[in-house]
């Protein structure tokens, strides 16, 4: 185990068969840079699993107070760090988050050389709050 910057891993190019990022994409200012670094250390055919908050339905732009619907506002494209949240006692209201729109997430993976093989969404009440994908290094 090593403590390292996610954009500068202390690993050789193509040296790992698999990598995973769980619920951390909103905790770094440049997740596409993290994806590039993950692709660098993955061996050809290596697999990467991303699991994070759903880029379309979780963030400062999403009001989830009513379980039967989520209301999205114009801040969806705001990629800056924010402490804004519909849940004033939640972790994002205390720690903040960077928003990664869905297009940035998937285009970042593709630009890093990861082929998206599968995506998945999950969440209660018909509105997903989690999004995941499996990427394979070409």
**pLDDT tens digits, residue range 96-109?**
999 999 999 999 99
CB of 11 within 8 A of CB of 17? Answer: no
121/127 Cα distance (integer angstroms) = 9
Strands 71-72 and 62-63, bridge-based pairing: antiparallel
Question: For residue 91, what pLDDT band results from cuts at 50, 70 and 90?
Answer: confident
The model's pTM is: 0.92
23/106 Cα distance (integer angstroms) = 16
**pLDDT at res. 67:** 81
**What would the DSSP string read from start to end of 59-77?**
STTEE-SSTT--EE-GGGG
Residue 78 has pLDDT above 90, yes or no: yes
Arithmetic mean of pLDDT over the chain: 94
Question: For residue 54, what pLDDT band results from cuts at 50, 70 and 90?
Answer: very high
Residue 33 has pLDDT above 80, yes or no: yes
**pLDDT at res. 1:** 75
Q: What is the gyration radius of the CA atoms in the chain, in angstroms?
A: 16
Closest CA to 108 of 60, 37, 47, 16: 37
Phi–psi pair at 58, nearest 5 degrees: -135, 125
| Domain ranges for the chain | 53-119+130-138
């Amino acid at each position: 185990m090593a403590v390292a910057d996610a954009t500068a891993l202390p690993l050789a190019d193509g040296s790992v068969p698999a990598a995973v990022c769980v619920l951390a994409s909103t905790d770094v200012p440049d997740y596409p840079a993290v994806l590039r670094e993950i692709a660098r250390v993955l061996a050809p055919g290596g697999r990467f699993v991303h699991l994070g908050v759903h880029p379309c339905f979780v963030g400062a732009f999403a009001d989830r107070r009513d379980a039967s619907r989520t209301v999205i506002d114009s801040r969806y494209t705001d990629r800056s760090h924010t402490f804004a949240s519909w849940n004033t006692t939640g972790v994002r209201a205390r720690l903040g988050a960077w928003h990664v729109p869905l297009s940035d997430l998937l285009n970042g993976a593709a630009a890093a050389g990861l082929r998206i093989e599968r995506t998945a969404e999950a969440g209660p009440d018909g509105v997903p709050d989690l999004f995941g994908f499996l990427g394979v290094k070409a």
